[in-house]
Amino acid sequence: AQTVTQSQPEMSVQEAETVTLSCTYDTSESDYYLFWYKQPPSRQMILVIRQEAYKQQNATENRFSVNFQKAAKSFSLKISDSQLGDAAMYFCAYRRGLTGGGNKLTFGTGTQLKVEL
């Protein structure tokens, strides 16, 4: 079974600074996807960024980028130029690849990000 681990329950960052959230996962499969979701107090899960395991290049979406280390099974999220609106719970998630059948998401326990003025 796949597992996703987020070892940082809480993180804080100053506005305009950079913060990195950590995530490790365990799988025996070679075809999979990794995601970071943001969940604000409204509870709506919002997709921040995705990474396909077969791609060596790290994904980037504006101020958000990932450091994907496949051999180490590590998938960290870097938020640059942090803004007050970035404050939320962030979840790392895993999904089997298309060849694995089914596409349920397996989530970590989350990291609460606080952004301070």
Partner 1 sequence: EAGVAQSPRYKIIEKRQSVAFWCNPISGHATLYWYQQILGQGPKLLIQFQNNGVVDDSQLPKDRFSAERLKGVDSTLKIQPAKLEDSAVYLCASSLSQVLGYEQYFGPGTRLTVT
> Minimal distance in Å, beta carbon 21 to partner 1?
14
Q: Residues in the site for partner 1, rule: CB under 8 A?
A: 4, 33, 42-47, 50, 91, 93, 95, 97-98, 102-105, 107-110
| Cβ distance to partner 1 smaller for residue 77 or 110 | 110
> Minimal distance in Å, beta carbon 117 to partner 1?
27
| Cβ distance to partner 1 smaller for residue 14 or 62 | 62
DSSP 81: S
> Minimal distance in Å, beta carbon 60 to partner 1?
17
As a whole number of angstroms, the distance between CA 70 and CA 54 comes to 9
| Cβ distance to partner 1 smaller for residue 19 or 48 | 48
Give Cα 77 to chain centroid, integer Å.
5
How far are the Cα atoms of 89, 112, 114 from residue 83, in angstroms, in the given order?
A: 14, 15, 10
Nearest to 97 by CA among 23, 4, 6, 28: 28
> Minimal distance in Å, beta carbon 77 to partner 1?
15
Element (H, E) at 48: strand 46-52
